[in-house]
A and B are shown apart, each in its own frame.
Chain A
Amino acid sequence: MNLFSDPRWNEAWTHLPDYLASHVRVSLTALLLGLLVSLPLAIAARNRPLMRGLLLGLAGIVQTVPGLALLALFYPLLLAAAALSLSWFGVNFSAFGFLPAVLALALYSMLPVLRNTLTGLRGVEPSILEAAQGVGMTPLQSLVSVELPLALPVMMAGIRTAAVWVIGTATLSTPIGQTSLGNYIFAGLQTQNWVFVLFGCAAAAVLALAVDQLLALIEAGLGARHRARTMLGAAGISALVAATLLPSLARPPSTYVVGAKTFAEQYVLSALIAQRLRAAGLSATTREGLGSNVIFQALASGDIDVYVDYSGTLWANQFHRNEIKPRGEVLGELKAMLARQGVTLFGELGFENAYALVMPKKRAEALHIKTIADLASRAPTMSVAADYEFFSRPEWAGIRGSYGLDLRNQRQMQPDFMYAAAASGEVDVIAGYTSDGLIAKYDLVVLDDVKHAIPPYDAVLLIAPKRADDQALREALQPVLGRIDIAAMREANLRAAGGDRSASPDEVARWLWGRIDKIKN
Chain B
Amino acid sequence: MSQTQPQIAFDHVAKRFDGGRSAKPVVAVDDVSLEVAAGEFLAIVGGSGSGKTTLLRLANRLIDADSGTIRIEGADVRGADPVALRRRIGYVFQSGGLFPHMSVAANIGITPKLLKWPDSEIAASVDERLDLVRLDRGVFRDRFPHELSGGQRQRVGVARALAARPNIVLMDEPFGALDPLTRDALGDDYRALHDKLGLTTVMITHDMTEAILLADRIAVMREGRLLAQGTPSALSQSTDAYVGELLGTPRRQAERLNALLPKGAS
Q: Which residues of A approach B to under 8 Å, CB–CB?
A: 127-128, 130-138, 141, 146, 149-150, 225
Contact = CB atoms under 8 A, between A and B. Distances in A.
A136 B86 contact: yes
Interface stretch (B98-106, B229-237, B243-251): B98-106
Given A130-B62, A149-B101, A135 B95 contact: no
Interface in B74-109: 83-84, 86-87, 91, 93-95, 97-101
B95 A127 contact: yes
Contacts of A146: 99, 101
The 6 closest A-B pairs by CB, nearest first: A131-B97, A136-B87, A136-B86, A134-B91, A149-B101, A135-B111
A134 B114 contact: no
26 contacts: A127-B93, A127-B94, A127-B95, A127-B97, A128-B97, A128-B99, A128-B100, A131-B93, A131-B98, A131-B99, A133-B62, A134-B93, A135-B87, A135-B91, A135-B110, A135-B114, A135-B160, A136-B86, A136-B111, A137-B110, A137-B114, A138-B83, A141-B114, A146-B99, A150-B100, A225-B101
B160 A136 contact: no
B83 A137 contact: yes
A136 B88 CA distance: 8
B7 interface: no
* Range class of the B interface residue count: 20 to 34
B83 A136 contact: yes
A150 B62 CA distance: 22
A136 B95 CA distance: 19
Contact of B97 (A134, A137, A138, A225): A134
B60 interface: yes
Contacts of A132: 99
Nearest to A152: B101
Contacts of B115: 136
Contacts of B114: 135-137, 141
Contacts of B95: 127
Nearest to A146: B99
Nearest to B97: A131
Given A135-B114, A136-B114, A150-B100, A130 B93 contact: yes
Contacts, number: 48
Contacts of A138: 83
Given A136-B84, A136-B87, 16 more contacts: A127-B95, A130-B62, A130-B97, A131-B93, A133-B62, A133-B86, A134-B86, A134-B97, A135-B86, A135-B87, A136-B111, A136-B115, A137-B83, A137-B114, A138-B83, A225-B101
Contacts of B101: 146, 149-150, 225
Contacts of A133: 62, 86
Contacts of A128: 97, 99-100
B62 A134 contact: yes
B75 to A, nearest CB: 17
A225 B94 CA distance: 27
Interface string B193-226: 0000000000000000000000000000000000
Contacts of B160: 135
A412 to B, nearest CB: 52
A135 B102 CA distance: 14
Contacts of B86: 133-136
A491 B93 CA distance: 83
A137 B91 CA distance: 13
Most interface-central of B87, B95, B110 (chain A CB within 10 A): B110
Interface string B97-131: 11111000000001100110000000000000000
A150 B97 CA distance: 14
A50 to B, nearest CB: 15
A141 B110 CA distance: 11
B173 to A, nearest CB: 12
A286 B51 CA distance: 75
B61 to A, nearest CB: 9
B200 to A, nearest CB: 17
Contact of A134 (B60, B84, B100): B60
A254 B220 CA distance: 85
Most interface-central of A130, A131, A136, A137 (chain B CB within 10 A): A136
A145 to B, nearest CB: 8
A2 to B, nearest CB: 55
A146 B102 CA distance: 9
A138 B101 CA distance: 18
Nearest to A150: B101
A132 B106 CA distance: 13
A150 B93 CA distance: 19
B187 to A, nearest CB: 21
Nearest to A131: B97
Contacts of A130: 62, 93, 97
Contacts of A134: 60, 62, 86, 91, 93, 97
A131 B101 CA distance: 13
Contacts of A127: 93-95, 97
Interface string B35-65: 0000000000000000000000000101000
A432 to B, nearest CB: 65
A451 to B, nearest CB: 71
Nearest to B85: A136
Contacts of B100: 128, 150
A127 B94 CA distance: 8
Contacts of A135: 86-87, 91, 110-111, 114, 160
Contacts of B93: 127, 130-131, 134
Contacts of B62: 130, 133-134
A133 B110 CA distance: 12
Nearest to A137: B114
A156 B93 CA distance: 30
B112 to A, nearest CB: 10
A127 B111 CA distance: 17
Contacts of B83: 136-138
A134 B160 CA distance: 11
Nearest to B163: A135
Nearest to A222: B101
A138 to B, nearest CB: 5
